[in-house]
Structure 1
Amino acid sequence: MTDGLFRKIDHGNTADEAVRQIEFLLLDGVLSSGDRLPAERELADRLAISRPVLRDALKELEARGLIESRHGGGTFVADLIGQVFSKPVAELVARHERSTRDYLEYRRELEGFAAAMAAKRATAADRERLGDIIAALRDACARNDFQAEIDGDIELHHAIGEAAHNIILMHTLRACYKLVAEGIFYHKQLIFDLPGSRENILEQHAAIVDAILRGDAEAARKASEDHIDYVAASVEEARRAGERELVAGLRKIQRDGAQNGRGRSRETTLQEGKQR
C-alpha cells in the first residue's frame, strides 16, 4: 500500500523535487526492497507533476540503483540491502561455527541498543504495530503455524529496528536479518524444533515489547540481550543434537551391517555343511 505516502510538490515543478521525496521514503525505510511504486499516471497525479517530469525523476533514481523497471511489470524499489558478503566470503563464513557465535554477539549489541532506543523513541503508531505483531505471534503459536511464527519473528525484529528511529541502525539490522534469511549462519527451524523453544521465544519477544511499550529502556535492552543469549544457546544445543543424531545413525548402520554379516556367515556355513 502506498496511499498517502506521496505528497504534492508545492514548489519547483522539477524532477529534483520528485527524486528528493522518493529518496526520503527509501532512506527512512518507508519503501523497502521489492516494493512496487504506483503506476506512472497515478504517481504523477499524487506528486502533481507532469508525466515527462516524473519519467526524468525515475530515470535518475534508476541510474543511482535505487529503483528498477521490470518489463511489463512496473517500477520497483531495488535491492537496497544487497550482499553483505561476497559469495566466496559468505560460503567461507557458513563453513565455520565461530562465525555464528560472532554474528550473534554482534546482533546482541545492536538489538539491545535498538530496543533501548525504541523504548525512548517509539511513536504511538510504532507501539500499536508492536502490539499487533505480538498478538499475531501468540495466535500463530496457539495454532502451531510454524511459518506464521517465523514470519512474525522477522517482522517483529524489523519493527523494533524501525521504532528506534535511527536510519543507520535500521539498515544495518536489515542486512543482519538478511544473512539469517539466506541461511548463512543458522536456520530458525533448528531452534524452533527444540522442545519448548517456541513458547520460550514468544515470551521473550513479549518481554521486549512490554518494556518498549512501558518506555523502560534498560529493561528493553536486557530483554533483547537475554533473547539473543537464548538463541545462541539454542543454536549450540541444536548443533549438538544434530551431532548426536548423526552418531546414533552411524552406529545403527554399523550394527545392522554387522548383524547382516553374521547372518550371511551362518548361512554360508550351513550351505557348506550340506555340500559336504
Structure 2
Amino acid sequence: MSLGPTREPVAQQIVGIIRELGLHPGDAMPTERDLIDRLRLSRNTVREAIRELRAWGIVDIRHGHGTFVASPSLQALAPTLVFRTLVAGPEGLDALRNLARIREILETSAIGEVAEVLSEEDRTELDRLCDLIGDPETSADADRRFHRLLYNRVDNPLIGQLVDVFWEAYNEAHDQLAEVVQHGQDSVAAHRRIVRALTAHDRQEAEQAMHAHFDGIYARLDDSRAGFSSAPVGDGSTA
C-alpha cells in the first residue's frame, strides 16, 4: 500500500507500516527502497525518519544486516532524563532529587507485591548483592542489579523497566552534578533492612524500609556539593 504525502510525521507513518504488516520485535523492516515507494518520499527523508525511530528505541539498525523492529524498551528515556537534569543549572541537585523521588514512588508502591513473591533463590542473591554494595569497586553495579532483581517477578513488567531507567538516569546525572559522599555501610544496612522485610513477607515493613532507603539518598544529596564545572566523578553513588 502506498500512503502518499501526508501531514503525519514520517516516523509515525513508518510505525503505521510496522503495525499494518504485523511486524514483531526481531522482524526485518521493509527495505529502504520499499519505504521510499510506499511513502513516496525522498531517500533522505526516509533515512531521517529511521534515525528518529532508532533514537526512540523502535528499530535497531544492524550494519551489514539491515533494519529490524526493536524489542520494547524504555531505555531511550534515560538520556533525555539525564539531559534535563544536567541543564537545570543551579537547580541541578533539586532536579536530581526529583529523579530519586520518582523512583521512590515506583519502588515503594511495588515492594509490597515483591514481599509476596520473593523466592529463596532471589533472597540469597539479594544477600550476596548487599555484600558487593559495601565494596566501592562493585557498589554501583551491585546496586543496579539489586533493584532490578526486586521487580523481576512482579506482574507488571513496566515497573521494573521504569525503575531501571530512573536508576540509570539518577546515577549518571549524580556522577556529573554531585560530590560523591562515601556511605558504603549505611547503604548496605539500608539494603539489608529491605531484604529482611521481604524475607519475612512483611509488606508494611518492606515499604517502610524502602522509604528509609530513599531518606538516606536525600540526606546524602543534602551533603553533596554541586560540581557543574567538573568532569564526571566516577561511581560510588549507590542508590
TM-score using structure 1 length = 0.53
Q: 1:231 to 1:80 in 2, by over 3 A?
A: closer
- Any residues of structure 2 matched to 1:107-256 within 5 Å, and which? 107-122=103-118, 124=119, 127-139=120-132, 141=134, 144=135, 146-183=136-173, 186-187=174-175, 193-194=181-182, 197-239=183-225
| 1:204 positional shift | 0.8
Counterpart in the other structure of 1:82? 76
Deviations 1:49-98 (A, max 9, x none): xxxxxxxx621599885452422699885864213537863433364132
Matching residue's letter, 2:112 = A
Measured in 1, the distance between the counterparts of 2:30 and 2:214 equals 37
Q: 1:236 to 1:129 in 2, by over 3 A?
A: same
Unmatched segments (≥5 aa) in structure 2: 1-20, 32-49, 228-239
**% of aligned pairs identical?**
17
| 1:227 positional shift | 0.4
Q: Does 1:58 align with 2:27?
A: yes
Matching residue's letter, 1:187 = D
Measured in 1, the distance between the counterparts of 2:170 and 2:65 equals 29
Counterpart in the other structure of 1:48? none
Q: Is the 8 A contact 2:133 2:140 kept in 1?
A: no
Q: Does 1:101 align with 2:94?
A: no
Two-structure CA RMSD over aligned residues (Å): 3.7
Counterpart in the other structure of 2:60? 68
Measured in 1, the distance between the counterparts of 2:180 and 2:124 equals 22
Measured in 2, the distance between the counterparts of 1:93 and 1:130 equals 39
Q: 1:71 to 1:101 in 2, by over 3 A?
A: closer
Q: Secondary structure at the match of 1:58?
A: coil
Deviations 1:148-198 (A, max 9, x none): 111001111111132333223222212211212432xx239968643xx20
The structure with the largest alpha-carbon Rg is 1
> 97-106 vs 152-161, which deviates more?
97-106
Q: Secondary structure at the match of 1:68?
A: strand
More helix by share: 1
Residues paired across the two proteins, number: 180
| 1:102 positional shift | 2.6
Measured in 2, the distance between the counterparts of 1:135 and 1:180 equals 24
Matching residue's letter, 1:68 = D
Q: 1:68 to 1:219 in 2, by over 3 A?
A: same
Measured in 2, the distance between the counterparts of 1:219 and 1:148 equals 27
